[in-house]
């Protein structure tokens, strides 16, 4: 079964996304903080991470590099934010983030992107 990790500063955003993504049949885990997100990622294998936390990718934490060095496959990383600064967006992609989505989200578009990503993974 595919596993998706959700991690957002807003519990309401995480719960809303959990409800939307629940139709895909994947197991959805919600991390309550950025620290909990990192701990979950290092302890278990996920197909996809959807997060609103930017610091683990922009503050020299090298989270993506650490995930790549594990024996488990690295999850695809989608960052969802209000961020609009081009320099910051480039920093996210350079750090290894796979997709950036901005608010407001279109649930059908999000479902399509997530379903495509999950179906493309072995």
Q: What is the pLDDT of residues 49-74, one digit of tens each?
A: 999 998 887 765 678 888 888 878 89
DSSP code at position 4 = E
| Two tokens, residue 73 | 């496959």
Enter the pTM of the model: 0.90
Tell me if residue 43 falls in helix, strand or coil: helix
If you average pLDDT over residues 89-110, what whole number do you get? 88
Q: Where are the domains of the chain?
A: 3-120
Nearest to 51 by CA among 21, 28, 77: 77
Options 2.40.50.140, 2.60.40.10, 3.40.50.2300, 3.40.50.970; CATH of 3-120: 3.40.50.2300
pLDDT in tens, 5-31: 999 999 999 999 999 999 999 999 999
pLDDT of residue 60: 57
CA gap 9, 51 in Å, rounded = 9
């Amino acid at each position: 079964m595919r596993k998706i990790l959700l991690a957002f500063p807003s519990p309401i955003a995480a719960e809303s996304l959990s409800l939307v993504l629940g139709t895909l049949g994947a197991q959805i885990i919600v991390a309550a903080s950025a620290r909990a997100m990192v701990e979950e990622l290092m302890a278990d294998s996920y197909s996809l991470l959807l997060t609103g936390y930017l610091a683990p990718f922009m503050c020299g934490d090298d989270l993506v590099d650490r995930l790549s060095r594990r024996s488990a496959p690295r999850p695809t990383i989608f960052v969802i934010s209000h961020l609009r600064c081009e320099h910051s967006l480039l920093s996210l992609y350079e750090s290894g983030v796979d997709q950036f989505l901005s608010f407001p989200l279109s649930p059908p578009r999000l479902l399509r992107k997530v379903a495509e990503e999950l179906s493309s993974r072995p």
